[in-house]
């Protein structure tokens, strides 16, 4: 099983990936851990793409993160695609909450040497424009794979809880 979890920052990708990893016992990869270098330095793009593709070529995984320009490769290899299509206000709320509660801490899904900080204008602009810029591209990719992959589009908490329940073993 290969599960790709995509969505805007603050949509809940990391939280969902931890829950699914606990249930399914699959290897879990957070793209931020492979993208960011200590001190929030950007990586060599070609090296990151190579690492990304090596992760995607493994036999089983959960990979959470966007990396929009590499998403096509990841989604082609995934057996299940989960798009967290969460409203902008909810994503922004979570980003600011995380910035306050986790300020200066490095979360389990973060890259080493990249503690949480206040969101930059560039980051906030990316989130603000996600629905306009990334979402149409995501829907095009999902449309390409709709007949070959299991695709879940999650728009709210009730749908998210139902999705998680669907992966829990029956007792």
What ranges do the domains of the chain cover? 2-167
Q: Nearest Cα to 75, choosing from 126, 160, 139?
A: 139
The set of residues, in sequence order, having a beta carbon less than 8 Å from that of 7 and lying 6+ positions away, is: 13, 66, 83, 84, 85, 86
Q: Nearest Cα to 64, choosing from 99, 108, 102, 18?
A: 18
**85-131 pLDDT tens trace:** 999 999 999 999 988 887 777 777 776 777 788 888 999 999 999 99
CATH number of 2-167: 3.40.50.300
Tell me the C-alpha distance between 64 and 80, whole Å.
12
Q: What pLDDT sits at residue 8?
A: 94
Phi, psi of 19 (to 5 degrees): -65, -45
Phi, psi of 20 (to 5 degrees): -70, -35
Residue 137 pLDDT level (bands cut at 50, 70, 90): very high
- The larger pLDDT score, comparing residue 137 to residue 115, is at 137
| pLDDT at residue 36 greater than cutoff 80 | no
| pLDDT at residue 21 greater than cutoff 90 | yes
Q: Nearest Cα to 91, choosing from 66, 111, 108?
A: 66
Q: What is the largest CA-CA distance in the chain?
A: 48
**67-95 pLDDT tens trace:** 888 999 999 999 999 999 999 999 999 99
């Amino acid at each position: 099983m290969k599960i790709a979890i995509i969505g805007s920052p603050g949509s809940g990708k990391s939280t969902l990936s931890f829950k699914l990893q606990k249930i399914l016992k699959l290897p879990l990869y957070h793209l931020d851990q492979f993208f960011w270098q200590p001190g929030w330095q950007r990586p060599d793009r070609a090296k990151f793409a190579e690492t990304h593709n090596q992760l995607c070529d493994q036999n089983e995984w959960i990979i959470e993160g966007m990396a929009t320009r590499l998403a096509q490769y990841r989604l082609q290899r995934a057996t299940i695609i989960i798009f967290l299509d969460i409203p902008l206000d909810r994503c922004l709320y979570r980003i600011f909450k995380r910035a306050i509660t986790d300020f200066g801490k490095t979360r389990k899904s973060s890259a080493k040497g990249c503690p949480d900080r206040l969101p930059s204008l560039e980051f906030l602009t990316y989130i603000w424009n996600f629905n306009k810029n990334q979402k149409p591209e995501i829907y095009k990719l999902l449309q390409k794979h709709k007949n070959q992959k299991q695709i879940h589009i999650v728009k709210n908490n009730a749908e998210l809880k139902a999705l998680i329940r669907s992966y829990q073993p029956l007792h």
